[in-house]
Chain A
């Protein structure tokens, strides 16, 4: 297997309104954990790493959570910087969260690097009884906004939790210009002494 260093790193962001289920999806996918009691804002999750292979090639996913900065829409430019893909999450049982997506797409447009791909996710599909957003509405929005994919997921039942990640990575790696740009790192200086120069991610 290829050594860790040779695995390309992809920076994937999760965004969307508070309580939409971004962290639940992230934690279910990466750690296969789900806490049905937890409804509090995420604390202490900076990013999660996960290796994923598509078409036989391994990638290291650097999955960033909003750290609560979505609550008052105070995500910084640096959060978006260098992101290859952005997963936008709403809650199918909360119509307001779906309506808010327009503004989140606008925020992506004004902050993400040109060419970054987007993927729309309707979370909490297990709450079908309380559904206020139809599957077709999500599909239509994803198409209108030029997303590379759309699906509904349930972090509770595990249904579709891998799908958004696999599909967005597949779409990112089909755009070699996104990857090569991220790899360019002329003149970067390592300050994290003792660990052999710069040891950050290459995204």
Chain B
């Protein structure tokens, strides 16, 4: 086998996060020589998924010196030795806790690219079903379409008419520019109030559909409309009753592993636990190749070096997150409400501004909890994993704690907390916050495509981007049965 240092690489890709893994997938049939490294000993980078033991190691690392997107990680575990299996933590590998629980809307280009690139067969997708809003210590299901709205007794008739009018508008917003263009930079709250006479509670409901981390007042109209439209038009695309999916076994983390394997099948070389220390730009001495010094002391030569964006700006947005394991399968949360719909594995719980508070601080921005059932493969039967997120503030840690407790208190079986990981995550840049988005942001795919263009150079043919033939097509003797015994 050719030593790494003697190969003229077409691209050295640093980091196996979702974006760079998708790049490896995009290049997997290009015959380019690809070296894909990650300084971590695991796949996924900022989108990795961990066993409990791996979380322990990760928390240590986050506490260390390395400047990263993550900070202030802390961990709490139950000491319960209950005889009831669901009331205590199982073994480390029974859990796959993910840093990337982003839901993927069914209309996302990511899904169509996973299909045309054929890797979707190695993934299992599960439905993101019911959406809930917490108000006055009760969970109310968010109406999931017109019929639901008519039957919803919590919405008065005047609001119902307004809501129907709004929904009709928003799925066709692109053709009704006259209605919203004058309000492009206005707040969603103001727009809904002035144009559709929505009371605050309905503004909150609509804002929740955008998964905005900001208040409805700080959420812009031009940002919101495409997202609300996406939410509504995604329902029913792959079956009744759901508009988004999540890959089993850790969401984005599983996509990145499958994409990296596709890269390897295409001849890409993978090294984990090895990062890029520094690089020397191409010069006449190096045949126009960039010299890359790896942390394993190897120096490799490459035409292109693809590195992750380093967080430079301290102004980039920061969120607080809690990953919690609870002692219940939360059956009521996931049950089917639409005939023929698949059993949801993920449910979204929204806490509008002011739903919870702690002494001396109120909740000034929304909180979202994504509840994952054990069908996601992330925890053992009888337990669920909660992913709670809000914008970081002085008291956000406490507020998230209270929100998780408030949510559990609404449930009949009063589940207990078994495990709680708190951490903060900073956006990759001030201008780019895709890593904090609670839904997979398709602009990531635009980045993947432009990196792919750079590596492909003149060979880049957009029609071929992420479009591959089945590999197993080479197997023609599938009909022949080998008689074993």
Binding site for B on A (CB under 8 A): 18-19, 30-31, 40-41, 43-55, 58, 67-69, 71-72, 74, 76-79, 81, 110, 162, 165-166, 169-170, 185-193, 199-201
CA distance A43 to B272 in the complex (A): 20
Asked if residues A46 and B265 are in contact (CB atoms below 8 Å), the reply is yes
Pairs A–B under 8 Å by Cβ, sample size 13: A31-B475, A46-B261, A53-B484, A54-B485, A68-B264, A77-B96, A78-B257, A162-B482, A187-B375, A189-B342, A191-B106, A191-B125, A200-B120
B111 within 8 A of A: yes
Asked if residues B269 and A71 are in contact (CB atoms below 8 Å), the reply is yes
Asked if residues B249 and A78 are in contact (CB atoms below 8 Å), the reply is yes
Interface of A is mostly: loop
Asked if residues A76 and B261 are in contact (CB atoms below 8 Å), the reply is yes
Q: Tell me whether A189 and B125 are in contact in the complex, defined as CB-CB below 8 angstroms, given that A53-B481, A53-B482 are known contacts.
A: yes
CB distance from B247 to the nearest CB of A (A): 10
In the complex, given contacts A74-B272, A187-B342, what are 4 additional A-B residue pairs having Cβ atoms less than 8 angstroms apart?
A45-B471, A68-B268, A186-B343, A187-B344
With a cutoff of 8 Å between Cβ atoms, the chain A residues found around residue B115 in the complex are 191-193
Q: Pick the contact of B482 from A52, A78, A170 — CB < 8 Å? A: A52
Asked if residues B257 and A48 are in contact (CB atoms below 8 Å), the reply is no
Q: Which 6 A-B pairs have the closest CB atoms?
A: A76-B257, A187-B343, A166-B484, A67-B264, A78-B257, A54-B484
Asked if residues A68 and B120 are in contact (CB atoms below 8 Å), the reply is no
B76 within 8 A of A: no
CA distance A35 to B64 in the complex (A): 51
B43 within 8 A of A: yes
With a cutoff of 8 Å between Cβ atoms, the chain B residues found around residue A52 in the complex are 481-482, 484
Asked if residues B265 and A67 are in contact (CB atoms below 8 Å), the reply is yes
Binding site for A on B (CB under 8 A): 1, 43, 93, 96, 106, 111, 114-115, 120-127, 238-239, 242, 245, 248-249, 254, 257-258, 260-262, 264-272, 342-345, 375, 471-472, 475, 477-485
Asked if residues A69 and B264 are in contact (CB atoms below 8 Å), the reply is yes
Asked if residues B126 and A78 are in contact (CB atoms below 8 Å), the reply is no
Asked if residues A110 and B471 are in contact (CB atoms below 8 Å), the reply is no
CB distance from A55 to the nearest CB of B (A): 5
With a cutoff of 8 Å between Cβ atoms, the chain A residues found around residue B122 in the complex are 78, 200
Q: Pick the contact of A43 from B124, B249, B267, B483 — CB < 8 Å? A: B267
Asked if residues A31 and B269 are in contact (CB atoms below 8 Å), the reply is no
CA distance A186 to B472 in the complex (A): 27
CA distance A54 to B271 in the complex (A): 39
CB distance from A42 to the nearest CB of B (A): 9
Asked if residues A67 and B238 are in contact (CB atoms below 8 Å), the reply is no
With a cutoff of 8 Å between Cβ atoms, the chain A residues found around residue B480 in the complex are 51
CB distance from A44 to the nearest CB of B (A): 6
Most chain B CB within a 10 A radius of its CB, from A52, A76, A79: A76
With a cutoff of 8 Å between Cβ atoms, the chain A residues found around residue B106 in the complex are 191
Most chain A CB within a 10 A radius of its CB, from B120, B484, B485: B484
Asked if residues B121 and A199 are in contact (CB atoms below 8 Å), the reply is yes
Most chain B CB within a 10 A radius of its CB, from A50, A51, A67: A67
With a cutoff of 8 Å between Cβ atoms, the chain B residues found around residue A188 in the complex are 124-126, 248, 342
Q: Tell me whether A74 and B270 are in contact in the complex, defined as CB-CB below 8 angstroms, given that A50-B482, A67-B265, A69-B261 are known contacts.
A: yes
CA distance A72 to B269 in the complex (A): 9
With a cutoff of 8 Å between Cβ atoms, the chain A residues found around residue B345 in the complex are 187
With a cutoff of 8 Å between Cβ atoms, the chain B residues found around residue A31 in the complex are 475, 477
CA distance A77 to B256 in the complex (A): 11
